Each structure stands twice: as C-alpha cells, then as structure tokens.
Amino acid sequence: MAPTPLLGSRTLDRQTARTLPPGPRWPTLAQTVLFASHRRTFFPRMRAKYGDVFTIRLVPSSRVCVVLSRPDHIREVFGSPPAVMHAGEGNMVLEPIMGSHSLLLLDDEDHVRMRRQLMPAFSGQALRGYAGMVHELARADVAKWPVGTPFKVHERMRNLTLEIILQVIFGVTDTDRLNMLRPLLDKIVSVSPVIMLGGFYPALLRIRPWRTYLTTQRQVDEILYDEIARRRGNLAGRNDVLSRLLAAGNWTDEELRDQLVTLLLAGHETTATALAWTFHELARRPEELAFGQRAADADADDELEAIVKEAMRLHPVVYQVGRRLTETADVAGYRLPRGTTIMAAIGLVHRDGEHFPMPMDFRPHRFLSDDPPAPGTWIPFGGGARRCIGAGFSLMEGTEILRAALAAYDFEAPDPKPEPAQAKNVTLVPRRGSVVRVTPR
C-alpha cells in the first residue's frame, strides 16, 4: 500500500488552511527548531495562546501537525480505527535506523501480525521470568557506584539499561561478544536528530555523518544476524527475549533484527532517562527517599512502581506521539484532511492541574490513593492498539533497579535546584545528567 501523502505546503490549499486549528505563522524552520529543541516550553506557550488544539508546521514540506492536549481528544485518536490513524507512517523518519519491519513503522495487518508474534515475550509470565535477571544485573552495577563522590546517575542508568538489553533482551552472555557490542550499540543508541533527517532525505545517507552511522549499523547487524543464526534450533533452557521470540513466532532474520534494534532504541534511553529523573527527585526530597527505601526493604513493588510512574508523569521522557490521517476525519471538533499529522501532547496532559492536583510537585502517593489519576491522563506509553508493547518490561525494570539502589544507599543532591530538561533525539533528558551523591545505608 502506498504511503499517505503528508499534508503540507504542496497539498494544502488556502480554503482548507482556514479550517485548521489556530497556530503560529512563523517560518517552518523556526517552528521546527523550537519543536526539536524546546518542545517542553514551546508547546505550553502555544497552548496558552491558541487553546487546547493548535497547529504547527514542521519539515519536511511544511507538514501540518495538529497538537492535542486534552485527554478526551487524545482518547479519540487512540480509540480510532488504526487504519484511519497510521502511527507507522508517522514514524517513517526512523526507518533508516530501525528497519522497515520495525513494529513502530508498521500499520494495518502487518502491525497486527508483528505485534501478535511479539506479545508472548512480554506477557506477565515472561516479565516475571526476566525480573530476577534484571535485579541481579542491577545489584552488581549498584555495588560499583562511587561512594561520597557526586556522579551523573543518568550515565550510570544508560550503561545499566544497555547491559540489561544485551543480556536480558538480546540474550548475549559471551564476554568477548559483549565487549564488542557495547561500544557499537552505544553509538547506535546515541543517534542524533541530524542523523534522523536521513529518513526524510534518503540522499543524505550517502555522505558523512550519515554514512558513518550506517557503517556502525552494519557492524551491529553482522553480530546480531550471527547471534540469530546461532540461536535458531538451540533454545533449550533460555528465557531471554530473543529466544522467546524465536520460540513463539515465524520470523525472518530481517524481521528479528528490526525488532531487536527497535527494542534497543525504544527501551534503552527511555528507561534510563525515566530512572535518572526518578533519582533526581528522590535525592532532593528526603521524605520521598525514605518512603522509597522502606518500599525497597519491604519488597513493596506497587510503591516502588508508583515512584517510577510519578517521575514519568512529572518528567515525560517522550513528550508527544504522532499519527497520520489516512482519510479525512473529525478530530477534536475539527474536520481534518487526509495527510494531517496528529500529535498527542503527553507532556501537556501530565502537567495539567485539572488532572493532577499540584502538578509540579513530585507526589508518588497520587498513584496509590483511593482516587488515582483518571484513565487516559497518565500516558507515557501512548495508548490504544499502539500502546508501547514494552510498557510492562519498562516498569518492571525500573522497579528492580530502584529496589537495588534504594536498598543499598542514601541519596542526596549536591545542587538541590530542579534540573532543566534538554531535548535529545525524541527524548527529554536531565541537562546536567542528574548529579547525585550516595552513601551506604
């Protein structure tokens, strides 16, 4: 099926333009720069000026993006037939990196088939099987943390979540192969927005730095394809994600490779960043730190998970998710034409006082009360048929890492001021790396 053409400068007529939600008339490049680097302040300002629904224009082709900030409007999008709201087409910028078979890039029957094959590896039973491995890796890493000396916990979290992906998801335990993969995968994960432009402008992939990135990618692919070949027919006693996928589905090597790279990119930086924000808040708040330590000592998973959830609410790692309309549709009270990009602004919902009283406060207990946040207001993993398939794994991973760290250390922040967020690729990370100091309990 041919992709849906973007609604933009070449396909938007004046009459249709008048019916779109209001928005800034600044040059497309200016809006793109603000969106790419300052979305956390850009979106709230646009909402304050234009209302709950507004339009921005981004490269390429001055594409029309309608931004939604109300849960009821976002539910319309998440609840719409996937054939009308294509998420895969909204992510095509990622194709040179993740591959054409990536779950994030597929739509319609292809997405349903691939998701069905992936589900057994992320079932509740499977997650319980991974938890022990995650906890042991977390305990071993936490034991090496510098005591009494400030360090950037975000960097530590990136290293730890990468190790978890290598051993728990990829199933690689050979020391030599781990040493070979770590630096290569770190380069893959650190993809910049400049590299991602190759998804819109394929000609760029023939020159540096895009060509250099693809060279690294080919080196990783060679190792992954070799690992897949070794694993086929040799699954006895293995319960890593790759082995479960091979056992549960009928995969080509290319399909498996694309899913593994997707899990690497979607599940590495996001979880590491969520945990960095979590430790940043706990180190600044002695009462919440003590609450977390009691939860770790008592193995109170719900309470540990609530701490991670609140960090994800206050500091959404992914600020928005997109869909592309494959046909004209009514959304948020507007008749929007085919090709429109719809953006559900997770960050605007999470900091709305209507849904979260005292939204700027870090209050994990809001997820444990008799009146928890309403459905559709906490959406760090998206929603509907396209909700992140790794959501359960991410929360389990965060809970286990938090348990290991809080059982071992007291935390304090050398600088108690809130740390600003900085855009990195599609994520919002702590600008200073979330510096903390730990001492043994």
DSSP calls for 417-438: SPPPEEEETTEEEETT--EEEE
In the predicted model, what is the mean pLDDT of residues 394-399?
A: 97
How far lies 420's CA from each of 277, 298, 322, in Å? 10, 33, 24
Domain ranges across the chain: 14-440
- Contacts of residue 248, defined as CB under 8 A and 6 or more positions apart, other chains included, come to 117, 120, 121
Phi then psi for residue 143, to 5 deg, are: -65, -20
Geometric angle at alpha carbon 266, from 291 and 113, rounded to 5°: 120
User: What Rg value do the Cα atoms of the chain yield, rounded?
Assistant: 22
Whether the pLDDT of residue 193 is over 70: the answer is no
Model confidence at 1, pLDDT cuts 50, 70, 90, reads low
In the predicted model, what is the mean pLDDT of residues 335-358?
A: 97
Helix, strand, coil shares, percent, the chain, to 5 = 55, 10, 30
User: Which residue has 């740390």 as its token pair?
Assistant: 419
CB neighbours of residue 427 within 10 Å = 17
In the predicted model, what is the mean pLDDT of residues 231-249?
A: 87
Residues 131-178 have pLDDT tens digits of: 999 999 999 999 999 999 999 999 999 999 999 999 999 888 888 988
Left, alpha or beta for 61 (phi > 0: left; psi -120 to 50: alpha)? left
Half-sphere exposure of 112 (CA within 13 A, CB side): 5
H or E, element range at 148: none
Single-letter residue type at 114: M
Distance of CA 296 to the CA centre of its chain: 25
Structure tokens at 8: 């933009």
Contact present, 209 and 194 (Cβ < 8 Å): yes
Geometric angle at alpha carbon 145, from 144 and 146, rounded to 5°: 115
pLDDT at residue 200, rounded to an integer: 66
Contact present, 315 and 351 (Cβ < 8 Å): no
Contact present, 168 and 240 (Cβ < 8 Å): yes
pLDDT at residue 203, rounded to an integer: 78
Alpha helices in 12-70 (DSSP H): 14-18, 28-50
CATH homologous superfamily of 14-440 = Cytochrome P450 (1.10.630.10)
pLDDT at residue 407, rounded to an integer: 98
| Omega within 30 of 0 (cis) for the link into 209 | yes
Distance of CA 317 to the CA centre of its chain: 6
Model confidence at 79, pLDDT cuts 50, 70, 90, reads very high
Q: Which of 42-51, 258-267, 369-378 has the highest mean pLDDT?
A: 42-51
Length of the chain: 441
Where does residue 77 rank: exposed (0-12), middle (13-18), buried (19+ CB within 10 A)? buried
259 closest CA partner among 391, 170, 166: 170
Share of residues in the chain with pLDDT > 90 (%): 73
Phi then psi for residue 332, to 5 deg, are: 55, 35
Residue-by-residue DSSP string for 190-256: T--HHHHGGGT-GGGGGSTTHHHHHHHHHHHHHHHHHHHHHHTT--TT--SHHHHHHHHS---HHHH
Whole-prediction pTM? 0.94
pLDDT at residue 315, rounded to an integer: 97
Mean per-residue pLDDT over the chain, rounded: 92
Alpha helices in 67-168 (DSSP H): 71-79, 87-90, 95-98, 108-118, 124-142, 153-164
Whether the pLDDT of residue 45 is over 80: the answer is yes
Q: Please state, in angstroms and rounded to a whole number, the distance separating the CA atoms of residues 401 and 308.
A: 10
Model confidence at 189, pLDDT cuts 50, 70, 90, reads confident
* Cα-Cα end-to-end distance for the chain: 59
Model confidence at 199, pLDDT cuts 50, 70, 90, reads low
What is the maximum span of the chain, computed from C-alpha positions, in angstroms? 66
